Structure 1
Amino acid sequence: MGNQNEVRKNFGQRASKYRLSTTHGNPVDLERMINLIKPTSDDIALDIATGGGHTAIALAKYVNRVVAIDISPEMLAEAEMASKQESISNIAFRTEDVHNFNISDSRFDIVASRFAVHHFSDVKRALREMCRVLKPGGKFYILDCSVFDGEEPEKEINRIELLRDSSHQCSYSPRLWHQLLKELPLTIDHTSLLKEQYELPRWFDRMGTEQNSREEIFRILNSLSAEGKIRYPFCDDYITTYRFEILATKN
């Protein structure tokens, strides 16, 4: 079963916060995604772990139809609310688990997922499922939390993420991502590591992080090596984070 129940619990009770999240709904990020994918009016798209529906809504403005899936019914309800607020009518919302789709092979022209892979309990299986439902020649897009290559960030930054969110599994470094991608039937068109910041205390508050966990996160940051502190500057108002972006085409 993996961590699916933990994901449902953590995000179900905070679904409205994610619909209103400026991180997930960042228009610059969404515009960059559209420019990379270059969707067309004939495309059928799948948005995996739609959350507040930001990705599905952005794609729906350019494609024929979007199927937006999530493991949390509460999230789907928030995403549907957001689509209605924007008068978007070409999105179908479905409860699905990325590890075991009830979806036929080669159905979609676009498969996209933003800020979700770090929750997948069996990432290799999930990525295979994403590829399975994508048509040959279709576009595969991921944007997710990431960390710098190396033992310290791969271990310590993931400790921080888990302290904030008990459903966290792994934020993959570029090194680990390339290992995962080479096992898939994909041609890689674009990858990039993007430096960002989480605003505090908003980042903590969105997940209801307890005070002792917040304090432990700062203890970890203060204990990083000199190189780690250069890559991960922080203060009372923000924590530095990285994201990995992928665009690929199915072979």
Structure 2
Amino acid sequence: MTPQVQPVADVIAAAAEQVFAVVETVRSRSVRLYEQVVASSGRPCAEDISTLRPFIQDHLAAQTGVIVGLGLIVAPDLLADQPLRLEWWQSEPGQAAPVGLAVDLKQNSPGFYDYAGTEWFAVPHRSGRRHIMGPYVDVHGTGRYILTFTVPVMSGDVFVGVAGADVSAPAFERRLIAEFASDTGILVANPEGRVVLSNCPRWVQGDRFAAPATPTSVTATQLTDLPWRVWQDVAKPLTSEV
């Protein structure tokens, strides 16, 4: 990691870790609930999951605009009385309190929301590791342009589901680029090459970025335990496509 990139990488990593810290509170509370229910009455029900609601609402209400959604998405067929279940709440403009996300979980319905097949659910389930998806437009859920941070919720060997947070991609970018000098040419890309954030006028959030094929003055570093690479001195477009 080059000295020039190190401070920028630290700022970006710290911002991501702040989001994951909030997600971790939901994960740990969910594990505790699951284990209490199993110990006392066996297989959990939808009503048990509903007891997480005040906890999630309070934590979401305490956020300052970057985190716009928070909750638990339950593993399929975990519950005794409901094959699919989510306890997900989001901040809505003009609403004083968090609003529950309403999606169609009827498997035979044309509008069925198959969350188990989404990247933000399937990757943590398969890998056992935390994940960040996006930026993307959540056309089947919130309708916002977001980053979704998720972690697997495990009780021993039992996959309970995933805990996660939706982050406003524009707000996340604004907050971070305010930390950088205007001439540093900072760009962060995800594993698919999509721009997560940039303070370069020629690169906008969501553009596809390709690394230079030949050595240049551009410097880069892979963030530790995060799926992002930080590029610096990206003054001119190298490859850009939408």
Same fold (TM over 0.5): no
Give 1 or 2 for the bigger CA radius of gyration: 2
- How does the TM-score come out when normalised to structure 1? 0.27
